[in-house]
Each structure stands twice: as C-alpha cells, then as structure tokens.
Amino acid sequence: MSADPTATDAGGELFVPAVTGSARPDARALPVTPVTRFAPAPTGFLHLGHLVNALYVWGLAQATGGRVVLRVEDHDRQRSRPEYEAALLEDLERLGLAPDEPPLAAFRAGATPYRQSDNGAAYAAALGRLREAGLVYACSCTRTTFAAWEADHGRPWRGIGCPGGCRATGQDDPAGPTATPATPGPALRVALGAGTERWVDLLAGPMADEPSASGDLLVRDRAGNWTYAFCVVVDDAANHVDLVVRGRDLLAATPAQIRLARLLGRSVPPQFLHHPLVRRVSGQKLSKAERDTAVREMLDAGSTPAELFGRAARLAGLRERATPIEPAALGALLRA
C-alpha cells in the first residue's frame, strides 16, 4: 500500500484522466472580479470530486477578487433529500468554505431562491418568455422513440429537434406547468435554432459546436421536473454568475446552455471552466453512495480540511504532491 493517501483508497485507486492543456487557467484569461458558483445537488454526500470543484471555485474567486454564490440544485424532486442539503451545509462549514451569497443561514431559515425547489416561479416566468417567442413545444418522445430511431439507423439519435419530430406536431401544454410542486405532464422542449456557438473554455481552450446538433433542449421532463440545463441557465442569469466552473462531463452541454441564455435575453453569456473529473481506475465516476470518498467520512476519520484540499489539488493535477493547503490559500494555487 502506498504511503500517499491520494494514490490508494479503501474502494480502489483514484485518478484524473490525462487532459490536454494545463490544469491551471492562463492568468491573463481570468475574468476580473467574477461571480462564480458552487452548486451541488443534494442527492448524496459531498465527495472528493466536489472538493476538486470547490477548489477551483473558491480558488478562482480568491485569485481574482471574485465572489462565490452557493446554490442547492434540487431540481430533481425524486432524488433530492433535505438531509443531504443539511449535510452539505455542515460539510462546507467544517471545510472552512463560506459562500459570499447567500449566508448559509438563509438555507436553514426556510425558502430561498438559491434553492431550486423554491425557485419554480422564476423557471415558470422564463418558460413564459420562451413561449411568447413561440419556441416551446410538447415532446412525446420516450426511450422507446430513441431506441426505435437507433434500430432503424444503426446509430444513436443525433439531429435537430427530437427524433419524433414533435415540434411540427406537438401541442404546448395549454395550462402551463405549475410553478411548484412538480406535477406530471408532457415533456417540454425549447427550439434552439440553427448556427454555431463559439467560446473559449478557460481550461479546454477554444470551442465551437452547434447547440441544436444533439436536439432541442428539454426544459421540463414528464415527471414535472424542470431540467438541470434549464434551471442553471435561469439561475446563473438571476445570480449574475459570469464564470461557470464545473466538470468536463458537462462540456458537451455548454453550447445549448449558451444558446438558451441568449434566447432568454442574456447578451453576454457566462465564461466557462470545465475541469477534469476524478475517477476510479476502473473508469467509474465517483458515486455519492460510496462512503470512502465522502468528505464527512474523511473529516470524521481525522483528516484536516487542509489535507483534503491537498489531495484534491494533486488529483486535479495542480500539484505534484498532496501537501496540505489551507482553504484561505486556494487562490495561490490557481494564480501560480
């Protein structure tokens, strides 16, 4: 067994796949005093993967004089749990990570627009604006529709709209979705339109893709949940977030989110930084169900926040060794 705590873990080795480019953004490209956000879903405990994300979020805010917004992304009402939200607030306190907006007490006091399940009125209002522009349609496609298309064509569906061609035939939900709570109904998509979106990712470099190439954006699913992509675009605009820091798994979703931001009236979309994801050697993503990488388990077992940030920095490729880093010193890691 290695003496290096990053190299082995109770459940298997952890690593970050090699990525092109540096793990550290070009200091000259960093925005000036950005608003960024830490936005976990309360569907499990914070783990080492979240810690890598937090390291970039708070580190970039420290390095640029920016601010951190905390958002609880519990748009998925079937999987989110209040006890996980309580745990993540507690874990942030134990790690010494304080958001600039809102104070943690705002979440404990009750409803807040920084919690997606309390923010349904904002999503309904945004949907209303897209409806007025004639961009929303009901989509009756199911997994079976996608599977049938794949069987016919010998490859997974990719195209404009949706495989069933629902924009031409589908009816928008005449009653409109209720703001809250989620109620089942037709799935709703927004037509993204043609053209390419170009942006410069702060780590992945220059990017260009057609937002609609993999279909129109789902804004509400059949269970009545607002979708992740829709909520975050509405929330980022409302919170004036202009630097989105998240994992590489969301890189492909970015052009559609930039386009949606434009459709909702945001003339300057946010900048993006997509960092590498921590994985197991087996190739699996870390799971919130696995306790060996849970932040609270590691703190309970005696690790200090500085030791955990040291591990995260090494996993992210920001340092060669997992030497401890105090939470207040994360900015220096990203400025270097």
Residues that bind Zn ion (CB under 5 A): 139, 141, 162, 164, 166
- Please give the torsion angle defined by the CA atoms of residues 289, 294, 298 and 304, in that order, rounded to the nearest 10 degrees: -170
- Report the residue number, 189 or 319, with the smaller CB distance to Zn ion: 189
CA gap 20, 248 in Å, rounded? 12
Query: Minimal distance in Å, beta carbon 134 to Zn ion?
Result: 17
> How far is Cα 133 from Cα 265, in angstroms, rounded to an integer?
11
Tell the smallest beta-carbon distance from residue 204 to Zn ion (Å). Answer: 31
Indicate the residue among 139 and 318 with the shorter CB distance to Zn ion. 139
Closer to Zn ion by Cβ: residue 48 or 166? 166
CB of 157 to Zn ion, least distance (A): 10
**DSSP bridge pairs for 67:** 35
Beta carbon nearer to Zn ion, 162 or 237 = 162
| Nearest distance, CB of residue 162 and Zn ion, angstroms | 3
Nearer to Zn ion, 89 or 141 (CB): 141
Select from 257, 221, 219, 254 the least CA-distant residue to 125: 219
Q: Where are the alpha helices (DSSP H) in 66-153?
A: 82-95, 104-108, 120-132, 143-153
Question: Position 265: which residue type?
Answer: G
Task: Provide long-range contacts, Cβ within 8 A and 24+ apart, for 110-113.
Answer: 113/238
Nearer to Zn ion, 218 or 233 (CB): 218
Question: Nearest approach, Cβ of 90 to Zn ion (angstroms)?
Answer: 42
The identity of residue 7, as a single letter, is A
Q: Residue 180 CB, nearest distance to Zn ion (Å)? A: 25
The Cβ of residue 262 has, within 10 Å, a number of other Cβ atoms equal to: 17
